A = this chain, B = another copy of it.
Amino acid sequence: MSDGATGLIETEAGAEPRNGERRRGIDRVIMLLEALLRHRAPMRVGDIAKMIGAPRSTTYEIVNSLLEAEMLENVGTEGYVYFGRAMHLFGWAYSHHNAHYRRIIETLDKMAAETGETVQLCGLRGNKYIVLDCRDSSGPFRISSDVGVEVPIPWTASGRLLLGHMSEEELKDFIPPGDYKLPDGRVIAPAEFFSDVALARRQGFSETVALADRFTWCMAAPIRDSYGAINKTLCFVLPVDTPEARRSELLALLCERARGLSLAGS
């Protein structure tokens, strides 16, 4: 039960757990929190222990400490735990400490209110794409993708923009080969993806139609930092049958707002 276990979380923190060795409590905490984030639902202590490859006794110890600090909290009566209130406070502090991020959130709110569509703020985490924040459409058509869940970059419109600074060579090294395979089994040809990236760079926006799933039309526009680099994108997730007229209207709005949030002159 050391290496082969599936779903095992391997943080960079601490590299390999050579047989019979001990791990630091801190690293366990980090692994635990990331496991919980991935799983995206309350877990029992026993399952957490399996997931992070830690002894049960150790896991109980750690979980109890985190419970006491309100970083975790009990959910239901049957020993399930999930993130706690303190995490909310820490996260809030993160997202409000910097004026730029605050402006972005306000824009997100405003766009959601004005259009009623699903709006997302996206970025990279390592070599995966993640949603950093979102406002879900108020309509019945609700495609909620979870904040913080890692998704292969080629599945997304934003991904094509976020990699705009890379050469083809760099792209090849950066994207894990398996990530070209879509959830429905289709495979994107790398060459096609590379030209998408180039197109996105030229256009200053990117669209994907029925890619990661059959029902959505995604459009993304870049938010540039003060060096002109693209670290984040703003995007709409629309029903795939949205009429052309409305789509181009929304695309224009998206690009305008994203430009307004960019720090570079250009």
Contact = CB atoms under 8 A, between A and B. Distances in A.
Interface of A: 11-13, 24-27, 29-30, 33-34, 36-37, 40-42, 62, 65-66, 68-71, 75, 82-98, 109, 113, 125, 130, 132-133, 147-148
A83 B88 contact: no
If over half of A's interface residues share one DSSP class (helix, strand or loop), that class is named, otherwise mixed; here it is helix
A22 to B, nearest CB: 12
A-B pairs, top 8 by smallest CB distance, nearest first, are A91-B91, A89-B148, A83-B94, A30-B69, A87-B90, A88-B91, A25-B26, A92-B147
A89 B62 CA distance: 20
A153 to B, nearest CB: 17
B95 A37 contact: no
Contacts of A70: 125
A163 B8 CA distance: 45
A90 B29 CA distance: 13
Given A82-B94, A83-B93, A133-B92, A71 B30 contact: yes
A29 B71 CA distance: 11
B109 A69 contact: no
Contact of A25 (B25, B41, B93): B25
A137 B147 CA distance: 26
B91 A92 contact: yes
Contacts of A90: 33, 36-37, 83, 87, 90-91, 148
B65 A82 contact: no
B97 A83 contact: yes
- Best-surrounded residue of A11, A40, A95, A125 (most CB of chain B within 10 A): A95
Contacts of A30: 65-66, 69, 71
Contacts of A62: 26
A25 B62 CA distance: 11
B148 A65 contact: no
A73 to B, nearest CB: 8
Nearest to A130: B89
